[in-house]
């Protein structure tokens, strides 16, 4: 009789990575952070203690301000220091204002009546 169960090593490798954030090392954090934010942040000042202990990072666009955040939270946020968030808000506000003042608006009323008739 021959069986194919000669190797048993696939059993332990599945156990090591199950708990979300349970055993995240600095290397693993950096890998994930770079996947998510690319080069948006500078992680060279990090003093790693654990996934849930705050570390200091810097936004490469606004290096004046250090951001203190836990690695866990950092991977959950969209990234962005206060300055980034403000810039993003201003940019979307401008976009909205430009859309409102666009001349297309008066034309939209006439086309609305036709746009409803999509079914045959
Ligand atoms: Zn920033």
Sequence ranges of the domains in the chain: 12-79, 81-120
116 pLDDT exceeds 50? yes
CA distance 120 to 118: 7
For residue 74, count other CB atoms closer than 10 A to its CB.
21
> Which pLDDT does position 96 carry in this prediction?
94
Q: What's the gap in Å between 106 CA and the centre of ligand 1?
A: 38
60 CA → ligand 1 middle, Å: 7
55-112 confidence digits (pLDDT tens): 999 999 998 889 999 999 999 988 778 898 899 999 999 999 999 887 665 555 554 5
Using the mean position of ligand 1's atoms as its centre, give its distance from the Cα of residue 82 in Å.
6
pTM, to two decimals: 0.59
Q: How far apart are CA 76 and CA 39, in angstroms?
A: 17
Query: 80: CA distance to ligand 1 center in Å?
Result: 5
d(CA 16, CA 9): 12
- Map 61-100 to HEC letters: CCCCCEEEECHHHHHHCCCCCHHHHHHHHHHHHHHHHHHH
Contact 59, 83 (CB under 8 A): yes
**Measured in angstroms, how far is the CA atom of residue 27 from the centroid of ligand 1?**
23
CA atoms within 13 Å, Cβ hemisphere of 12: 3
Pick the closest to residue 22 from 51, 49, 53 (CA basis).
51
CA max distance for the chain: 82
């Amino acid at each position: 009789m021959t069986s194919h169960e000669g190797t048993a090593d696939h059993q332990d490798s599945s156990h090591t990575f199950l708990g979300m954030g349970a055993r995240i090392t600095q290397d693993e954090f950096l890998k994930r952070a770079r996947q998510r934010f690319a080069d948006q942040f500078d992680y060279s000042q990090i003093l790693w203690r654990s996934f849930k202990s705050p570390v200091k990072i810097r936004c490469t666009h606004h290096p004046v301000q250090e951001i203190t955040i836990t690695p866990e939270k950092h991977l959950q946020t969209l990234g962005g220091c206060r300055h980034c968030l403000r810039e993003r808000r201003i940019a979307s506000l401008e976009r909205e204002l430009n859309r409102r003042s666009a001349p297309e608006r008066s034309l939209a009323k006439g086309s609305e009546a036709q746009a409803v008739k999509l079914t045959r």
